[in-house]
Structure 1
Amino acid sequence: MVNFHSQPTTHINHVALKVKDLEKSIEFYKDILGFKVLKSIENTVELTADGEQPLLTLIYSESYELKPKRTTGLYHFALLLPERKDLANFLLHIANKKYPIGAADHHVSEAIYLEDPEGNGIEIYSDRPSSQWTIENKYVKMSTDPLNTEDLLKEADETWKGLPSNTVMGHIHLHVNDLNKSTDFYVKGLGFDIVLPYYNAVFLSNNGYHHHIAINTWNGSSASAPPSNSTGLAYYDITYGSQELLDRQLANLENMGYKVTKKDYSYITSDPAGITIILSV
Protein backbone atom coordinates (compact mmCIF):
# COMPACT_ATOMS: atom_id res chain seq x y z
CA MET A 1 0.00 0.00 0.00
CA VAL A 2 1.30 3.44 -0.96
CA ASN A 3 2.18 5.70 1.96
CA PHE A 4 0.47 8.92 0.97
CA HIS A 5 1.77 10.94 3.94
CA SER A 6 5.54 10.58 3.83
CA GLN A 7 8.36 10.98 1.34
CA PRO A 8 8.32 11.16 -1.62
CA THR A 9 4.65 12.20 -1.56
CA THR A 10 3.92 15.91 -1.13
CA HIS A 11 1.55 16.13 1.82
CA ILE A 12 0.11 18.24 4.65
CA ASN A 13 1.85 17.60 7.96
CA HIS A 14 0.74 20.35 10.36
CA VAL A 15 -2.00 22.93 10.96
CA ALA A 16 -1.94 26.00 13.21
CA LEU A 17 -5.06 27.63 14.65
CA LYS A 18 -5.61 31.00 16.30
CA VAL A 19 -7.83 30.61 19.37
CA LYS A 20 -9.62 32.99 21.70
CA ASP A 21 -9.90 30.66 24.72
CA LEU A 22 -6.69 28.67 25.06
CA GLU A 23 -7.62 26.67 28.16
CA LYS A 24 -10.96 25.55 26.72
CA SER A 25 -9.31 24.63 23.43
CA ILE A 26 -6.59 22.59 25.12
CA GLU A 27 -9.21 20.75 27.17
CA PHE A 28 -11.17 19.90 24.03
CA TYR A 29 -8.19 18.68 22.05
CA LYS A 30 -6.91 16.55 24.92
CA ASP A 31 -10.17 15.20 26.30
CA ILE A 32 -12.33 14.89 23.17
CA LEU A 33 -9.74 14.24 20.45
CA GLY A 34 -6.99 12.63 22.49
CA PHE A 35 -4.01 14.84 21.72
CA LYS A 36 -1.06 15.21 24.08
CA VAL A 37 0.69 18.51 24.80
CA LEU A 38 4.16 18.42 23.25
CA LYS A 39 5.33 21.93 24.08
CA SER A 40 3.85 25.04 25.66
CA ILE A 41 5.68 28.36 25.28
CA GLU A 42 3.89 31.53 26.38
CA ASN A 43 0.78 31.74 24.18
CA THR A 44 1.62 28.86 21.82
CA VAL A 45 0.82 25.21 22.50
CA GLU A 46 1.95 22.33 20.28
CA LEU A 47 -0.18 19.19 20.28
CA THR A 48 1.01 15.74 19.24
CA ALA A 49 -0.12 12.16 18.78
CA ASP A 50 3.27 10.44 18.94
CA GLY A 51 4.97 12.61 21.56
CA GLU A 52 7.58 13.78 19.06
CA GLN A 53 6.08 15.68 16.12
CA PRO A 54 3.45 18.43 16.39
CA LEU A 55 0.32 17.90 14.31
CA LEU A 56 -1.60 20.91 15.57
CA THR A 57 -0.52 24.21 17.09
CA LEU A 58 -2.80 26.53 19.06
CA ILE A 59 -1.88 30.22 19.08
CA TYR A 60 -3.60 32.47 21.63
CA SER A 61 -4.00 36.23 21.83
CA GLU A 62 -6.40 38.20 23.97
CA SER A 63 -6.97 40.45 20.94
CA TYR A 64 -8.47 37.66 18.80
CA GLU A 65 -12.14 37.83 17.89
CA LEU A 66 -14.23 34.94 16.58
CA LYS A 67 -13.94 34.57 12.82
CA PRO A 68 -16.86 36.12 10.90
CA LYS A 69 -19.17 33.76 9.03
CA ARG A 70 -18.92 33.26 5.25
CA THR A 71 -15.26 34.22 4.95
CA THR A 72 -12.35 32.35 3.40
CA GLY A 73 -10.16 30.02 5.43
CA LEU A 74 -10.65 26.66 7.10
CA TYR A 75 -13.57 24.39 6.26
CA HIS A 76 -11.97 21.53 8.17
CA PHE A 77 -8.68 19.84 8.86
CA ALA A 78 -8.66 16.06 8.84
CA LEU A 79 -6.82 13.61 11.08
CA LEU A 80 -6.21 10.23 9.46
CA LEU A 81 -6.31 7.30 11.86
CA PRO A 82 -4.20 4.22 11.02
CA GLU A 83 -6.95 1.59 11.01
CA ARG A 84 -10.71 1.24 10.83
CA LYS A 85 -10.81 -0.12 14.38
CA ASP A 86 -9.27 3.16 15.57
CA LEU A 87 -12.17 5.05 14.01
CA ALA A 88 -14.59 2.60 15.66
CA ASN A 89 -12.95 3.18 19.04
CA PHE A 90 -13.14 6.94 18.51
CA LEU A 91 -16.83 6.73 17.58
CA LEU A 92 -17.54 4.80 20.78
CA HIS A 93 -15.55 7.34 22.78
CA ILE A 94 -17.30 10.36 21.26
CA ALA A 95 -20.70 8.74 21.82
CA ASN A 96 -19.86 8.20 25.49
CA LYS A 97 -18.88 11.87 25.70
CA LYS A 98 -22.24 12.81 24.08
CA TYR A 99 -20.39 15.28 21.85
CA PRO A 100 -22.34 16.31 18.72
CA ILE A 101 -21.01 14.85 15.47
CA GLY A 102 -21.80 14.19 11.85
CA ALA A 103 -20.68 11.17 9.86
CA ALA A 104 -20.31 10.02 6.27
CA ASP A 105 -19.08 7.21 4.05
CA HIS A 106 -17.02 8.71 1.19
CA HIS A 107 -16.33 5.42 -0.62
CA VAL A 108 -12.57 5.97 -0.25
CA SER A 109 -12.89 6.55 3.48
CA GLU A 110 -15.22 6.64 6.48
CA ALA A 111 -15.42 9.87 8.44
CA ILE A 112 -16.70 11.51 11.60
CA TYR A 113 -17.15 15.30 11.67
CA LEU A 114 -17.24 17.69 14.60
CA GLU A 115 -16.31 21.23 15.57
CA ASP A 116 -14.03 22.51 18.30
CA PRO A 117 -15.36 25.06 20.85
CA GLU A 118 -14.56 27.95 18.50
CA GLY A 119 -16.25 26.48 15.44
CA ASN A 120 -13.21 25.06 13.63
CA GLY A 121 -14.25 22.10 11.51
CA ILE A 122 -12.54 18.75 12.14
CA GLU A 123 -12.73 15.42 10.34
CA ILE A 124 -11.54 12.19 11.93
CA TYR A 125 -11.32 9.42 9.35
CA SER A 126 -9.84 6.14 8.23
CA ASP A 127 -9.09 5.18 4.65
CA ARG A 128 -10.19 2.12 2.81
CA PRO A 129 -7.27 0.43 1.00
CA SER A 130 -6.42 2.31 -2.18
CA SER A 131 -6.86 -0.94 -4.10
CA GLN A 132 -10.60 -0.60 -3.38
CA TRP A 133 -10.89 2.96 -4.71
CA THR A 134 -12.59 3.46 -8.06
CA ILE A 135 -10.91 5.61 -10.72
CA GLU A 136 -13.13 6.82 -13.56
CA ASN A 137 -11.76 9.04 -16.37
CA LYS A 138 -8.67 9.82 -14.25
CA TYR A 139 -10.84 11.00 -11.34
CA VAL A 140 -11.21 9.17 -8.07
CA LYS A 141 -14.79 8.29 -7.18
CA MET A 142 -15.92 9.84 -3.91
CA SER A 143 -19.41 10.10 -2.46
CA THR A 144 -21.19 11.35 0.64
CA ASP A 145 -23.33 8.49 1.87
CA PRO A 146 -24.60 7.68 5.37
CA LEU A 147 -22.00 6.03 7.56
CA ASN A 148 -22.91 2.51 8.64
CA THR A 149 -22.14 3.11 12.29
CA GLU A 150 -23.50 -0.27 13.36
CA ASP A 151 -21.06 -2.07 11.09
CA LEU A 152 -18.20 0.25 12.08
CA LEU A 153 -18.72 -0.34 15.80
CA LYS A 154 -18.23 -4.08 15.24
CA GLU A 155 -14.55 -3.19 14.77
CA ALA A 156 -14.22 -1.55 18.20
CA ASP A 157 -11.85 -3.62 20.32
CA GLU A 158 -10.82 -1.42 23.23
CA THR A 159 -11.58 1.79 25.02
CA TRP A 160 -10.26 4.98 23.44
CA LYS A 161 -6.76 5.75 24.72
CA GLY A 162 -6.20 8.91 22.72
CA LEU A 163 -4.95 9.39 19.18
CA PRO A 164 -2.84 6.46 17.97
CA SER A 165 0.83 7.40 17.74
CA ASN A 166 0.85 7.02 13.94
CA THR A 167 -2.06 9.38 13.35
CA VAL A 168 -1.23 11.89 10.59
CA MET A 169 -2.68 15.10 9.20
CA GLY A 170 -4.59 13.48 6.36
CA HIS A 171 -5.81 16.53 4.47
CA ILE A 172 -7.12 20.06 4.73
CA HIS A 173 -10.29 21.51 3.18
CA LEU A 174 -10.47 25.26 2.56
CA HIS A 175 -13.00 27.97 1.75
CA VAL A 176 -11.75 30.10 -1.16
CA ASN A 177 -13.43 32.80 -3.25
CA ASP A 178 -12.14 32.12 -6.77
CA LEU A 179 -12.12 28.45 -7.70
CA ASN A 180 -10.30 28.83 -11.01
CA LYS A 181 -7.56 31.08 -9.66
CA SER A 182 -7.10 28.94 -6.56
CA THR A 183 -7.00 25.74 -8.61
CA ASP A 184 -4.32 27.29 -10.81
CA PHE A 185 -2.32 28.20 -7.69
CA TYR A 186 -2.46 24.72 -6.20
CA VAL A 187 -1.81 22.89 -9.48
CA LYS A 188 0.78 25.06 -11.21
CA GLY A 189 2.16 26.84 -8.17
CA LEU A 190 2.30 24.04 -5.62
CA GLY A 191 2.35 20.99 -7.89
CA PHE A 192 -0.80 19.13 -6.89
CA ASP A 193 -3.00 17.14 -9.29
CA ILE A 194 -6.75 17.50 -9.70
CA VAL A 195 -8.39 14.24 -8.61
CA LEU A 196 -12.02 15.35 -8.57
CA PRO A 197 -14.02 18.49 -9.45
CA TYR A 198 -17.20 18.36 -7.38
CA TYR A 199 -20.07 20.88 -6.87
CA ASN A 200 -18.09 24.15 -6.74
CA ALA A 201 -15.16 22.33 -5.17
CA VAL A 202 -11.90 20.83 -6.39
CA PHE A 203 -10.05 17.98 -4.72
CA LEU A 204 -6.28 17.86 -5.20
CA SER A 205 -3.54 15.43 -4.29
CA ASN A 206 -0.08 14.09 -5.00
CA ASN A 207 0.95 10.54 -5.87
CA GLY A 208 -2.61 9.31 -6.43
CA TYR A 209 -4.13 9.99 -3.01
CA HIS A 210 -7.86 10.76 -2.90
CA HIS A 211 -7.03 14.27 -1.66
CA HIS A 212 -4.46 16.14 0.39
CA ILE A 213 -6.18 19.49 -0.22
CA ALA A 214 -9.73 20.44 -1.15
CA ILE A 215 -10.95 23.92 -2.01
CA ASN A 216 -14.51 25.16 -2.35
CA THR A 217 -16.54 28.32 -2.90
CA TRP A 218 -19.44 27.21 -0.70
CA ASN A 219 -19.20 30.49 1.25
CA GLY A 220 -19.68 32.35 -2.03
CA SER A 221 -17.39 33.88 -4.63
CA SER A 222 -17.72 37.20 -2.80
CA ALA A 223 -16.33 35.80 0.46
CA SER A 224 -13.57 38.00 1.84
CA ALA A 225 -10.56 37.02 3.91
CA PRO A 226 -11.26 37.31 7.65
CA PRO A 227 -9.63 40.16 9.61
CA SER A 228 -6.08 39.41 10.74
CA ASN A 229 -7.17 39.26 14.40
CA SER A 230 -9.79 36.58 13.70
CA THR A 231 -9.68 33.11 15.18
CA GLY A 232 -9.40 30.14 12.85
CA LEU A 233 -6.66 28.99 10.53
CA ALA A 234 -3.32 30.72 11.09
CA TYR A 235 -1.41 28.65 8.53
CA TYR A 236 -0.75 25.11 7.42
CA ASP A 237 2.40 23.26 6.35
CA ILE A 238 3.16 21.37 3.15
CA THR A 239 6.14 19.00 3.03
CA TYR A 240 7.87 18.17 -0.26
CA GLY A 241 9.86 15.03 -1.00
CA SER A 242 13.03 16.79 -2.13
CA GLN A 243 14.67 20.21 -2.25
CA GLU A 244 14.75 19.97 -6.04
CA LEU A 245 10.99 19.57 -6.19
CA LEU A 246 10.40 22.39 -3.72
CA ASP A 247 12.75 24.70 -5.64
CA ARG A 248 10.81 24.02 -8.83
CA GLN A 249 7.52 24.92 -7.18
CA LEU A 250 9.00 28.06 -5.60
CA ALA A 251 10.15 29.18 -9.04
CA ASN A 252 6.66 28.53 -10.42
CA LEU A 253 5.07 30.59 -7.64
CA GLU A 254 7.37 33.53 -8.27
CA ASN A 255 6.82 33.32 -12.05
CA MET A 256 3.07 33.45 -11.37
CA GLY A 257 3.52 36.60 -9.29
CA TYR A 258 3.08 35.14 -5.81
CA LYS A 259 5.26 36.44 -3.02
CA VAL A 260 7.51 33.90 -1.32
CA THR A 261 9.46 34.71 1.87
CA LYS A 262 12.27 32.54 3.20
CA LYS A 263 12.33 31.88 6.95
CA ASP A 264 15.04 29.57 8.29
CA TYR A 265 14.65 26.35 6.26
CA SER A 266 11.07 27.06 5.18
CA TYR A 267 9.25 29.32 2.74
CA ILE A 268 6.06 31.26 3.40
CA THR A 269 3.47 32.14 0.77
CA SER A 270 -0.28 32.81 0.56
CA ASP A 271 -2.89 31.41 -1.79
CA PRO A 272 -5.32 33.68 -3.74
CA ALA A 273 -7.79 33.56 -0.83
CA GLY A 274 -5.19 34.95 1.58
CA ILE A 275 -4.49 31.63 3.33
CA THR A 276 -0.92 31.36 4.64
CA ILE A 277 1.08 28.26 3.74
CA ILE A 278 4.54 27.17 4.92
CA LEU A 279 6.52 25.07 2.45
CA SER A 280 9.45 22.87 3.42
CA VAL A 281 11.27 19.62 2.70
Structure 2
Amino acid sequence: MTESPLIPETARIGRTALVVTDLEAMIEFYQDVVGLAVQTRQETTATLGVDGTPLLVLEQDEDAPPRRREQAGLFHNAFTVPSHTALGSALERIRTHWQLDGASDHYVSEALYLTDPEDNGIEIYTDRPEAEWPRADDGTVQIGTVALDLDDIAAQSDGRTEAPPGTTVGHIHLEASSLEATRAFYVDTLGLTVQTEVRSAVFLAAGTYHHHLGVNTWNGRSQPAGGRGLAWFEFIVPDDSTLTTVRQRLEDATVAVDDAAAGIELTDPDGITIRLRVA
Protein backbone atom coordinates (compact mmCIF):
# COMPACT_ATOMS: atom_id res chain seq x y z
CA MET A 1 0.00 0.00 0.00
CA THR A 2 1.12 3.56 -0.55
CA GLU A 3 2.73 5.34 2.41
CA SER A 4 -0.25 7.68 2.58
CA PRO A 5 -3.61 7.19 0.85
CA LEU A 6 -3.50 8.23 -2.78
CA ILE A 7 -7.16 9.23 -2.49
CA PRO A 8 -7.01 11.48 0.59
CA GLU A 9 -9.05 10.90 3.72
CA THR A 10 -10.97 14.09 3.00
CA ALA A 11 -12.27 12.80 -0.36
CA ARG A 12 -15.95 12.08 -0.91
CA ILE A 13 -18.15 10.79 -3.68
CA GLY A 14 -19.36 13.45 -6.14
CA ARG A 15 -21.50 12.72 -9.19
CA THR A 16 -22.36 9.42 -10.78
CA ALA A 17 -23.30 9.04 -14.45
CA LEU A 18 -25.60 6.53 -16.11
CA VAL A 19 -25.88 5.53 -19.76
CA VAL A 20 -29.62 5.43 -20.49
CA THR A 21 -31.82 4.83 -23.52
CA ASP A 22 -34.98 6.72 -22.53
CA LEU A 23 -33.79 10.06 -21.19
CA GLU A 24 -37.26 11.51 -20.60
CA ALA A 25 -38.48 8.53 -18.57
CA MET A 26 -35.33 8.49 -16.46
CA ILE A 27 -35.51 12.23 -15.75
CA GLU A 28 -39.14 11.85 -14.68
CA PHE A 29 -38.27 8.93 -12.39
CA TYR A 30 -35.38 10.66 -10.65
CA GLN A 31 -37.47 13.79 -10.16
CA ASP A 32 -40.68 12.15 -8.92
CA VAL A 33 -39.27 9.22 -6.94
CA VAL A 34 -35.77 10.17 -5.77
CA GLY A 35 -36.65 13.87 -5.55
CA LEU A 36 -33.79 15.32 -7.59
CA ALA A 37 -34.15 18.54 -9.61
CA VAL A 38 -32.97 19.07 -13.18
CA GLN A 39 -30.02 21.48 -13.14
CA THR A 40 -28.88 21.37 -16.76
CA ARG A 41 -30.49 19.83 -19.81
CA GLN A 42 -29.19 19.28 -23.34
CA GLU A 43 -30.47 17.13 -26.18
CA THR A 44 -28.89 13.89 -24.96
CA THR A 45 -27.74 14.67 -21.42
CA ALA A 46 -29.20 15.94 -18.17
CA THR A 47 -27.69 16.71 -14.79
CA LEU A 48 -29.84 16.40 -11.69
CA GLY A 49 -29.09 17.31 -8.11
CA VAL A 50 -30.16 19.04 -4.94
CA ASP A 51 -29.81 22.66 -3.81
CA GLY A 52 -27.35 23.52 -6.60
CA THR A 53 -25.19 20.44 -6.04
CA PRO A 54 -25.00 18.05 -9.03
CA LEU A 55 -25.42 14.40 -8.07
CA LEU A 56 -26.48 12.45 -11.16
CA VAL A 57 -25.66 12.74 -14.86
CA LEU A 58 -27.85 10.94 -17.40
CA GLU A 59 -26.20 10.31 -20.78
CA GLN A 60 -28.56 9.11 -23.51
CA ASP A 61 -27.47 6.43 -25.99
CA GLU A 62 -30.56 5.02 -27.65
CA ASP A 63 -28.49 2.17 -29.14
CA ALA A 64 -26.85 1.09 -25.88
CA PRO A 65 -27.61 -2.59 -25.26
CA PRO A 66 -28.80 -3.82 -21.88
CA ARG A 67 -26.01 -4.84 -19.53
CA ARG A 68 -25.54 -8.58 -19.92
CA ARG A 69 -26.05 -10.89 -16.98
CA GLU A 70 -22.38 -11.80 -16.78
CA GLN A 71 -21.07 -8.21 -16.87
CA ALA A 72 -19.69 -6.30 -13.91
CA GLY A 73 -21.09 -2.87 -13.16
CA LEU A 74 -23.39 -1.03 -10.79
CA PHE A 75 -25.07 -2.75 -7.85
CA HIS A 76 -26.58 0.50 -6.63
CA ASN A 77 -26.19 4.25 -6.39
CA ALA A 78 -26.69 5.33 -2.79
CA PHE A 79 -28.20 8.73 -2.03
CA THR A 80 -27.82 9.93 1.55
CA VAL A 81 -30.57 12.11 3.01
CA PRO A 82 -29.96 14.21 6.13
CA SER A 83 -32.75 13.05 8.46
CA HIS A 84 -35.43 10.49 9.29
CA THR A 85 -37.96 13.04 8.08
CA ALA A 86 -36.28 13.07 4.66
CA LEU A 87 -36.15 9.27 4.63
CA GLY A 88 -39.85 9.14 5.46
CA SER A 89 -40.61 11.51 2.59
CA ALA A 90 -38.54 9.34 0.24
CA LEU A 91 -40.54 6.31 1.33
CA GLU A 92 -43.77 8.19 0.65
CA ARG A 93 -42.59 9.15 -2.85
CA ILE A 94 -41.58 5.57 -3.59
CA ARG A 95 -44.92 4.19 -2.44
CA THR A 96 -46.82 6.84 -4.41
CA HIS A 97 -44.92 6.68 -7.69
CA TRP A 98 -42.96 3.41 -7.74
CA GLN A 99 -42.22 0.20 -5.85
CA LEU A 100 -40.01 -0.50 -2.84
CA ASP A 101 -37.68 -3.49 -3.25
CA GLY A 102 -36.51 -3.71 0.35
CA ALA A 103 -35.47 -1.89 3.52
CA SER A 104 -32.77 -2.54 6.12
CA ASP A 105 -31.22 -1.23 9.31
CA HIS A 106 -27.45 -1.58 8.82
CA TYR A 107 -26.48 -0.43 12.36
CA VAL A 108 -24.66 2.57 10.81
CA SER A 109 -27.58 3.65 8.61
CA GLU A 110 -31.20 3.00 7.71
CA ALA A 111 -31.85 2.27 4.06
CA LEU A 112 -34.55 1.91 1.42
CA TYR A 113 -33.91 -0.02 -1.81
CA LEU A 114 -35.50 0.26 -5.24
CA THR A 115 -34.69 -0.14 -8.95
CA ASP A 116 -35.01 2.53 -11.65
CA PRO A 117 -36.78 2.02 -15.02
CA GLU A 118 -33.57 0.79 -16.70
CA ASP A 119 -32.69 -1.71 -13.96
CA ASN A 120 -30.15 0.36 -12.02
CA GLY A 121 -30.20 -0.29 -8.28
CA ILE A 122 -30.78 2.62 -5.90
CA GLU A 123 -30.36 2.99 -2.15
CA ILE A 124 -31.76 5.98 -0.27
CA TYR A 125 -30.50 6.12 3.30
CA THR A 126 -29.84 8.22 6.34
CA ASP A 127 -26.81 7.77 8.57
CA ARG A 128 -26.92 7.23 12.29
CA PRO A 129 -24.57 9.54 14.24
CA GLU A 130 -21.00 8.33 13.76
CA ALA A 131 -20.53 7.99 17.52
CA GLU A 132 -23.17 5.24 17.46
CA TRP A 133 -21.52 3.17 14.73
CA PRO A 134 -20.36 -0.14 16.20
CA ARG A 135 -16.64 -0.65 15.71
CA ALA A 136 -14.34 -3.61 16.23
CA ASP A 137 -11.20 -3.35 18.36
CA ASP A 138 -9.15 -2.50 15.26
CA GLY A 139 -11.42 0.46 14.48
CA THR A 140 -13.21 -1.05 11.51
CA VAL A 141 -16.95 -0.52 11.25
CA GLN A 142 -19.37 -3.36 11.91
CA ILE A 143 -22.13 -3.21 9.31
CA GLY A 144 -25.06 -5.57 9.68
CA THR A 145 -28.51 -6.12 8.19
CA VAL A 146 -31.70 -6.32 10.24
CA ALA A 147 -35.32 -5.42 9.53
CA LEU A 148 -36.25 -1.74 9.33
CA ASP A 149 -39.46 -0.47 10.94
CA LEU A 150 -41.16 1.03 7.88
CA ASP A 151 -44.20 2.20 9.82
CA ASP A 152 -41.94 4.34 12.01
CA ILE A 153 -40.09 5.72 8.99
CA ALA A 154 -43.33 6.50 7.13
CA ALA A 155 -44.76 8.32 10.17
CA GLN A 156 -41.88 10.82 10.08
CA SER A 157 -42.54 12.03 6.52
CA ASP A 158 -43.34 15.71 6.04
CA GLY A 159 -44.68 15.04 2.54
CA ARG A 160 -41.81 16.81 0.81
CA THR A 161 -41.73 16.07 -2.92
CA GLU A 162 -38.07 17.06 -3.41
CA ALA A 163 -34.98 15.73 -1.68
CA PRO A 164 -33.84 18.34 0.86
CA PRO A 165 -30.58 20.29 1.03
CA GLY A 166 -27.86 18.07 2.44
CA THR A 167 -28.72 15.15 0.17
CA THR A 168 -25.57 13.68 -1.41
CA VAL A 169 -24.28 10.55 -3.07
CA GLY A 170 -22.99 8.80 0.02
CA HIS A 171 -21.52 5.74 -1.66
CA ILE A 172 -21.36 3.60 -4.78
CA HIS A 173 -21.77 -0.18 -4.69
CA LEU A 174 -20.23 -2.18 -7.54
CA GLU A 175 -20.50 -5.74 -8.80
CA ALA A 176 -17.03 -7.03 -9.68
CA SER A 177 -15.78 -10.01 -11.64
CA SER A 178 -12.93 -10.55 -9.14
CA LEU A 179 -13.13 -9.37 -5.56
CA GLU A 180 -9.38 -9.90 -5.13
CA ALA A 181 -8.38 -7.82 -8.16
CA THR A 182 -10.86 -5.06 -7.37
CA ARG A 183 -9.83 -4.91 -3.73
CA ALA A 184 -6.15 -4.75 -4.71
CA PHE A 185 -6.84 -1.82 -7.03
CA TYR A 186 -8.92 0.26 -4.65
CA VAL A 187 -6.96 -0.57 -1.49
CA ASP A 188 -3.37 -1.20 -2.58
CA THR A 189 -3.25 1.30 -5.45
CA LEU A 190 -5.74 4.02 -4.49
CA GLY A 191 -5.38 3.68 -0.73
CA LEU A 192 -8.99 3.26 0.38
CA THR A 193 -9.39 1.64 3.79
CA VAL A 194 -11.21 -1.63 4.39
CA GLN A 195 -14.00 -0.82 6.83
CA THR A 196 -15.73 -4.18 6.91
CA GLU A 197 -15.91 -7.49 5.06
CA VAL A 198 -18.81 -9.89 4.70
CA ARG A 199 -19.39 -12.93 2.53
CA SER A 200 -18.03 -12.14 -0.97
CA ALA A 201 -18.10 -8.39 -0.35
CA VAL A 202 -15.87 -5.63 0.97
CA PHE A 203 -16.71 -2.08 2.05
CA LEU A 204 -14.08 0.62 1.58
CA ALA A 205 -13.69 4.27 2.58
CA ALA A 206 -11.57 7.35 2.40
CA GLY A 207 -11.04 8.27 6.04
CA THR A 208 -13.37 6.90 8.72
CA TYR A 209 -16.73 6.88 6.91
CA HIS A 210 -18.51 3.51 7.02
CA HIS A 211 -18.01 3.20 3.25
CA HIS A 212 -17.70 5.26 0.12
CA LEU A 213 -17.43 2.14 -2.02
CA GLY A 214 -18.95 -1.31 -1.71
CA VAL A 215 -17.84 -4.18 -3.94
CA ASN A 216 -19.42 -7.63 -4.18
CA THR A 217 -19.35 -10.80 -6.28
CA TRP A 218 -22.72 -12.15 -5.10
CA ASN A 219 -24.14 -12.63 -8.61
CA GLY A 220 -21.14 -14.29 -10.22
CA ARG A 221 -20.26 -11.59 -12.76
CA SER A 222 -17.38 -12.72 -14.97
CA GLN A 223 -16.95 -10.08 -17.71
CA PRO A 224 -15.98 -6.38 -17.76
CA ALA A 225 -18.66 -3.71 -17.45
CA GLY A 226 -20.57 -2.63 -20.54
CA GLY A 227 -23.92 -1.66 -22.00
CA ARG A 228 -26.44 0.51 -20.20
CA GLY A 229 -25.85 1.48 -16.60
CA LEU A 230 -22.89 3.07 -14.84
CA ALA A 231 -20.81 5.30 -17.11
CA TRP A 232 -18.53 6.71 -14.40
CA PHE A 233 -18.42 7.93 -10.83
CA GLU A 234 -16.18 10.47 -9.19
CA PHE A 235 -14.27 11.27 -6.06
CA ILE A 236 -14.07 14.92 -5.01
CA VAL A 237 -10.66 16.00 -3.67
CA PRO A 238 -10.08 19.21 -1.70
CA ASP A 239 -7.81 21.28 -3.96
CA ASP A 240 -5.76 21.50 -7.15
CA SER A 241 -2.50 20.56 -5.45
CA THR A 242 -4.06 17.33 -4.20
CA LEU A 243 -5.27 16.52 -7.72
CA THR A 244 -1.82 17.20 -9.15
CA THR A 245 -0.23 14.94 -6.54
CA VAL A 246 -2.74 12.17 -7.20
CA ARG A 247 -2.09 12.32 -10.93
CA GLN A 248 1.68 12.17 -10.47
CA ARG A 249 1.50 9.24 -8.07
CA LEU A 250 -0.83 7.33 -10.40
CA GLU A 251 1.57 7.86 -13.29
CA ASP A 252 4.50 6.80 -11.08
CA ALA A 253 2.56 3.61 -10.33
CA THR A 254 2.09 3.09 -14.11
CA VAL A 255 -1.67 3.53 -13.85
CA ALA A 256 -3.06 4.99 -17.09
CA VAL A 257 -4.53 8.46 -16.47
CA ASP A 258 -6.54 10.58 -18.91
CA ASP A 259 -7.85 14.11 -18.78
CA ALA A 260 -11.53 14.55 -17.89
CA ALA A 261 -13.77 17.54 -17.39
CA ALA A 262 -12.15 19.56 -14.57
CA GLY A 263 -10.03 16.61 -13.50
CA ILE A 264 -8.62 13.22 -14.41
CA GLU A 265 -9.97 9.74 -15.00
CA LEU A 266 -8.80 6.13 -14.82
CA THR A 267 -10.39 2.71 -14.99
CA ASP A 268 -10.64 -0.13 -12.48
CA PRO A 269 -10.00 -3.82 -13.31
CA ASP A 270 -13.55 -4.21 -14.69
CA GLY A 271 -13.30 -1.19 -16.98
CA ILE A 272 -15.37 1.05 -14.71
CA THR A 273 -14.34 4.69 -15.06
CA ILE A 274 -13.40 6.68 -11.96
CA ARG A 275 -13.00 10.43 -12.17
CA LEU A 276 -11.29 12.73 -9.71
CA ARG A 277 -11.92 16.46 -9.60
CA VAL A 278 -11.73 19.41 -7.25
CA ALA A 279 -14.93 20.53 -5.58
CA contact (8 A) 2:50 2:163 kept: yes
- In the other structure, the counterpart of 2:21 is 20
Shift of the 264–60 alpha-carbon distance from structure 1 to 2, 3 Å rule, reads: closer
- Give the aligned partner of residue 265 of structure 1: 262
- Letter paired with 1:238: F
Q: How far 1:86 sits from its partner (Å)?
A: 0.7
| Aligned-residue offset at 1:262 | 2.2
CA distance in 1, matches of 2:84, 2:147: 16
How many residues were matched structurally? 270
Contact 1:72 1:219 in 2 (8 A): no
Q: CA deviation at 1:98?
A: 5.1
How much has 1:265 moved relative to structure 2? 3.2
- Structure 2 distance, partners of 1:264, 1:105, is 37
Check conservation: 1:28, 1:117, Cα contact below 8 A. Answer: yes
Task: Tell me the CA shift for residue 66 of structure 1.
Answer: 1.4
Deviation at 1:8, TM superposition (A): 6.7
* TM-score normalised according to structure 2 size: 0.91
What is the CA–CA distance in structure 2 between the aligned matches of 1:62 and 1:207, rounded to whole Å?
39
RMSD: 1.8
Deviation at 1:110, TM superposition (A): 0.3
- Could you tell me which amino acid in structure 2 is paired with residue 44 of structure 1? T
- 1:109: Cα distance to partner? 0.3
Secondary structure of 1:203 counterpart? strand
User: Partners of 1:134 and 1:105 in 2: how far apart?
Assistant: 13
Aligned to 2:104: 104
Measure, in 1, the Cα distance between the counterparts of 2:251 and 2:58. Answer: 30
* Change beyond 3 A, Cα 1:245–1:99: same
1:154 aligns with 2:155: yes
Q: Quick one: structure 1 residues 211 and 8, their matched pair in 2 at CA, closer, same or farther if it must change by over 3 Å?
A: closer
Q: Is the CA contact (8 Å cut-off) linking 1:22 and 1:58 kept in structure 2? A: yes
> Which consecutive unaligned segments of at least 5 residues does structure 2 have?
1-7
Alpha-carbon separation, structure 2, partners of 1:192 and 1:249:
13
8 Å Cα contact 1:111/1:125 also seen in 2: yes
CA distance in 1, matches of 2:31, 2:245: 39
Inter-partner Cα distance in structure 2 for 1:245 and 1:154: 44
- The one-letter amino acid paired with 1:45 is A
Amino acid aligned to 1:224: Q
Bigger Cα displacement from structure 2, 125-134 vs 236-245: 236-245
Are 1:231 and 2:232 an aligned pair? Answer: no
Percent identity between matched residues is 37
Question: TM-score if structure 1 supplies the norm length?
Answer: 0.90
Cα distance in structure 2, aligned partners of 1:82 and 1:88: 11
Displacement of 1:30 after TM fit? 1.2
Question: Which residue does 1:4 correspond to in 2?
Answer: none
CA change 1:264–1:35 in 2 (3 A) is closer
Letter in 1 for 2:148: L
2:121 aligned with 1:124: no
Q: 1:262 to 1:53 in 2, by over 3 A?
A: same
Deviations 1:66-98 (A, max 9, x none): 111231110001000011111012212322335
Structure 1 unpaired stretches of 5+: 1-6
1:60-139 equivalent positions in 2, closer than 5 A: 60-97=60-97, 99-136=99-136, 137-139=138-140
Question: In 2, Cα distance between the equivalents of 1:244 and 1:64?
Answer: 37
Residue 33 of structure 2 contacts residue 90 of structure 2 at CA under 8 Å; is this kept in 1?
no
Residue number in structure 1 paired with 2:36: 35
| Paired position in structure 2 for 1:44 | 45
The 8 Å contact of residues 106 and 144 in structure 2, kept in 1 or not, is answered as yes
Tell me by how many angstroms 1:61 deviates.
1.6
Counterpart residue number, 2:180: 180
